[in-house]
Amino acid sequence: MPGMTARPESRFMNAQIRRAVGGLLLGFVASAPAFAASAKAQASVTIAEAVHVNGLIGVPVTNADLIAAWRAAPATNTGMMPLRLPSLLMPAQAAAGPAFDPAAAATLAQAGTDVDRADDGVLQPGLVAAISAIRYESGEGHAAQLSITVAFN
C-alpha cells in the first residue's frame, strides 16, 4: 500500500526533533561553565611598629612613663617616619594606673600636641618624637576616653 511510506517519514521527523532537543540539552550542559563568575577583593592590613613603645600600648600608663618616653634618648632608624600609634584608654582604665593625673595628662597634651602638622609636636630625633595625650569627654556617640598618640622616627 503506497500510504505506508508516511509512517517511516513520521518516525524520521520525530527522530530529528529528538536529536534537536538532545543537541540543545547537550549544548546547555557543555556551556555550563560559561555561567561561572569570579571576582577578587583585596585584603589588606598594616602592621605598625610597636617595638619601642610597648610600654605605652595597651596598658595603663603613668605620667612617668609618658615623660620617660617623651625624653627618650635620640636614636636613628628605629621606626617608620612618621608613624603614629594611638592607644585609647578608658578613663577608668587609666585611673586604675598607679599615678594617673588628668591634669598632668592635659599638660602633656599641650606640650606634645598633636602631630597632624609636620612641624608641630615633633621633638628631637629619638625613639619617641612626639606624644599627644588628649582626653575626650563622653558624647557624640562615644564614651569618655584618653587618647595617647605617640610618633617616633
Partner 1 sequence: MKANLKPAVRAKYVAAAVVGLLGACIATGAQAASATATATATVLTPMTISATTNMNFGDLVGGNGTVTLSTGGALTKTGTTPIPTVNTNGSAVSAAMFTIGGTGTSTFAITAPSTVTLTGTGSSSNTMTLTPFWEVTATATATGVTSGTPATGALTSGAAFIFVGGSLPVAANQAADTYVGNVQVSVDYN
What is the contact surface with partner 1 in residues (CB under 8 A)? 1-7, 10, 13-14, 17-18, 20-21, 24-25, 28, 32-51, 54, 57-58, 79-80, 83-88, 149
Choose between 36 and 118: whose C-beta lies nearer to partner 1: 36
Choose between 2 and 139: whose C-beta lies nearer to partner 1: 2
Cα–Cα distance, 59 to 54 (Å, whole number): 9
Sort 149 into a burial class: Cβ within 10 Å, 0-12 / 13-18 / 19+: buried
Helix, strand, or coil here: 36? coil
Minimum distance from residue 149 beta carbon to partner 1 (Å): 8
| N residues, the chain | 153
Minimum distance from residue 114 beta carbon to partner 1 (Å): 12
Minimum distance from residue 140 beta carbon to partner 1 (Å): 16
Residue from 119, 118, 114, 125 nearest 152 by CA: 125
Minimum distance from residue 138 beta carbon to partner 1 (Å): 16
